[in-house]
Amino acid sequence: MPDEKQYVTPTPAREFDRRAFFTKIGLGSLGIAAAGTVGFTYEFLSPNVLYEPSPIINAGKPESFEVDSVTMDVNSGIYLVRAAEGFYALSAVCTHLGCLTAWSQELGIIKCPCHGSEFTRTGVKIEGPAPKPLPWLRTWVSDDGDLMVDRSMNIPPLQFLRI
């Protein structure tokens, strides 16, 4: 005797279940599309702001720099120089293609490792493809007595900060 359950035709309730299933999938897809639209709209309407670090550097107390010293701050890309005439800050970024230069204590010059440009400790180009000297940066002393440098503001060379 054959199994009767094998030949059972689908009942209307089963069809309704299938229809409900596809309806739910359709509604789910619409929900996902609506959520995506809301997300993109929020992204479009939010301000397009780049959060960059402040150009103002606190270099610390002036007494911590020896006279006739060149100190590089790798993180901020500056040199803090204490010369007999006073303090000054130079950008350590090469004016050729933007490599980070390095102070050579033995040679007493600033050298760029990328294409060989060389600069004096006051930023004047000695040789190499760099088109301009290293820029001097604005320096001042804060109310707390700290040396401050503004990387975003160049000043004419040989303006020493006397403390």
Contact map string, positions 65 to 94, toward ligand FES, x by CB under 6 A: -----------------------------x
Judged by CB under 6 A, does residue 112 bind ligand FES? yes
**Which phi and psi angles does 9 have, rounded to 5°?**
-80, 155
Contact flag: residue 114 with ligand FES (CB under 6 A): yes
For position 134 contacting ligand FES by CB under 6 A, the verdict is: no
Query: Which amino acid does the sequence have at 84?
Result: A
C-alpha to C-alpha distance for 157 and 24, rounded to whole angstroms: 72
Q: Is 157 in the site for ligand FES (CB under 6 A)?
A: no
Q: Cβ-count burial of 102 within 10 angstroms (0-12 exposed, 13-18 middle, 19+ buried)?
A: middle
Q: What are the φ/ψ torsions at residue 86 (nearest 5 degrees)?
A: 145, -165
Judged by CB under 6 A, which of 60, 62, 128, 157 binds ligand FES? 128
- The phi, psi pair for 64, rounded to 5°, reads -80, -5
Should residue 133 be labelled a site residue for ligand FES when binding is judged by CB under 6 A?
Answer: no
Binding-site ranges for ligand FES (CB under 6 A) = 94, 96-97, 99, 112, 114-117, 128-130
